[in-house]
Amino acid sequence: MESRRLKHASLTLLILVSSSYGGHIGTASTLKMDQALLEFHNQLREEVQVYYTSDYCYECVYQHLATVKPRNQNASAIISTKFTLTVQVESQTRNESLCRWSQTYEEGGHYSVWIQISEATKDPSCMHTLDKSPNNIYLPLLAAALQLAMIALLFVVVPYIYRRRRTSKYIKIICCQGPQYSVDNVTHAGETAQNTSKAKPVRLLSLDTFRGFALTVMVFVNYGGGGYWFFEHAPWNGLTVGDLVMPWFVFVIGTSVVLAFASMQRRGVSRLQLLRKITWRTAVLLMLGFCFINYSPRDGRLSWSWLRIPGVLQRLGFTYFVLSLLQTFWGQKEIPLRADPWWKPAQDVVLYWPQWLIIILLETLWLCITLLMPVPNCPTGYLGAGGIGDNGLYPNCTGGAAGHIDRWMFGDNMYRYPTCKELYHTTQPFDPEGLLGTINSIVMGFLGMQAGKIILFYKKKNVHILCRFVVWAVVLGISAAILSKCTRDGGFIPVNKNLWSLSFVMCMGCFSFLLLGGMYFVIDIKGWWGGQPFLYPGMNSIFVYVGHSLLGFYFPFSWEMHSLDSHWEQLFQSLWGTILWVLVAYLLYRKKFFLKI
């Protein structure tokens, strides 16, 4: 979920370099978030060159940082503090490395490196000193966490105590005991009873809460996540908070499709009616993503030359379409009652064997294209970011087969500022919502469908539901660990959100089963929590997502920030905009307004 701000703003380079000879040019006022000042003092009689690389950048070529003249001259550089840097000082005349070190510099700090002759060994050495203490970047997070904890007390503890004191006046509703489910797909809150005289179907509150939690984190990330790199998307391989939300959303789509379609099929909705409904919703999602989320008047004059064809809602819409077709043609209207067949422990899998066959074929297609398709001037099966990565051997191979297919299909009409651009210095466009990754998006949604089938097959058997959730989480987690070898870059198939790699899908499936199972236990079984406040955006997800995408960067949701050297204002703005949209969802909930498609 890329914010419009990142889409149209110029990207800051990993290292901003400026040099001076005989004087110090870096000042505290020049430093911004995620930056520190590094000054080199050369006491040798020869000129030296300073190079750097980020330890997060896989096998990246060293980049030039500074040139330091001899005889007590110095040079300053503003460096990034996001990741650990490896810095190397080389002799200009001898063409050899004088010293090398790896260090994680801290935001706002001023550091000095003295390049001199060691008195003990008589060889060149580098000595570090701290000239100005760095900022405590976690203090804003601590203050925000305390405030959010107080809000949680209001939303969770106080209503719980109130319910406990008035137990006799309320009827405790345990989910999955009713014969119908009104949970619908991600695009709206669900089917609600139109006739108030009829009994209202029981909602799976944990699913609404899960959807709302993912959406709330998504909005926070799209507002910048307070400027913290671990709330943004990972540069290439690996996981950050920003990489979690869309897979959770897709997982919820699959679970909702199973529950909603089972309910509609039991009510006698024909297959033709389902197909019309599926087609309409898919078309609306595609049009919303392409025509509205893609462009707004603040972007300037509309031009086809930069208009992006793939997108988040486009992928969600197509994923929903495929999952709905699977459930329409090969779903079970009723759970068959048979006398304990041998495959009963796996009945929620065996009875859906046509769906599994299609998913296995799709995943085989992804593996074959990704690992076997020849890409011009790139190694077969390449999964790297290109640019300066992999020792600079494949600069134009960003994304391997996935990137090649998208560039062939869409040309420049795709995402031009991929997350790897800043760190890997890539020049090729790469779209994280491209065609090949959509296959694994369908697989991720199918795992969500499996969660829905478990809930249907084992209703009123909460222990069985939770145990099967845990089993699926363990199997998927172990599979992801094997594929990635429990490393960020060194596995058979690294965990990569940009590519939606198989290991990424399995890892996210593991997290999804655990999170949904935990919420199901706390909310629907024990009733310890009503799902607030995430329940409200979860029941109006399409309104909140489209609303924050179109209006999110206008006042009062955001404003032009003036304090660029601290996380305080940006974190406040990110939380403020997120809380406002949760409040909007709450007001719509009170008014019983749910945007449906």
- Residues with catalytic roles: 233
Q: Where are the beta strands (DSSP E) in 300-391?
A: none
- Tokens representing 176 are 């999955």
Reported for 361-370, long-range contacts at CB under 8 A and 24+ positions apart, including other chains, are 362/439, 362/442, 362/443, 363/439, 363/440, 363/443, 363/502, 365/439, 366/436, 366/439, 366/440, 366/443, 366/502, 367/502, 369/401, 369/405, 369/436, 370/400, 370/401, 370/402, 370/436, 370/499
Phi, psi of 30 (to 5 degrees): -85, -15
Alpha helices in 95-204 (DSSP H): 139-152, 158-165
For tokens 């008589």, name the residue.
Answer: 122
What is the Cα–Cα distance from 47 to 496, expressed in whole angstroms? 42
What is the Cα–Cα distance from 404 to 369, expressed in whole angstroms? 11
- In this structure, the strands spanning 110-117 and 35-42 are parallel
CB atoms within 10 A of CB 330: 15
First vs last Cα of the chain: how many Å apart?
A: 21
Q: Which residues contact 262 (CB under 8 A, 6 or more apart)?
A: 181, 331, 332, 333, 452, 456
> Half-sphere exposure (CA, 13 Å, Cβ side) for 367?
12
Q: Which residues contact 363 (CB under 8 A, 6 or more apart)?
A: 439, 440, 443, 502
Rg (CA), the chain: 27
What is the Cα–Cα distance from 249 to 576, expressed in whole angstroms? 23
The full 3-state SS of 116-138, as one line of letters, equals EECCCCCCEEEEEEEEECCCCCC
What is the Cα–Cα distance from 3 to 577, expressed in whole angstroms? 13
What is the Cα–Cα distance from 231 to 572, expressed in whole angstroms? 14
What residues form DSSP beta bridges with 16?
A: 78
On whether the CB atoms of residues 578 and 570 are closer than 8 A, the answer is: no
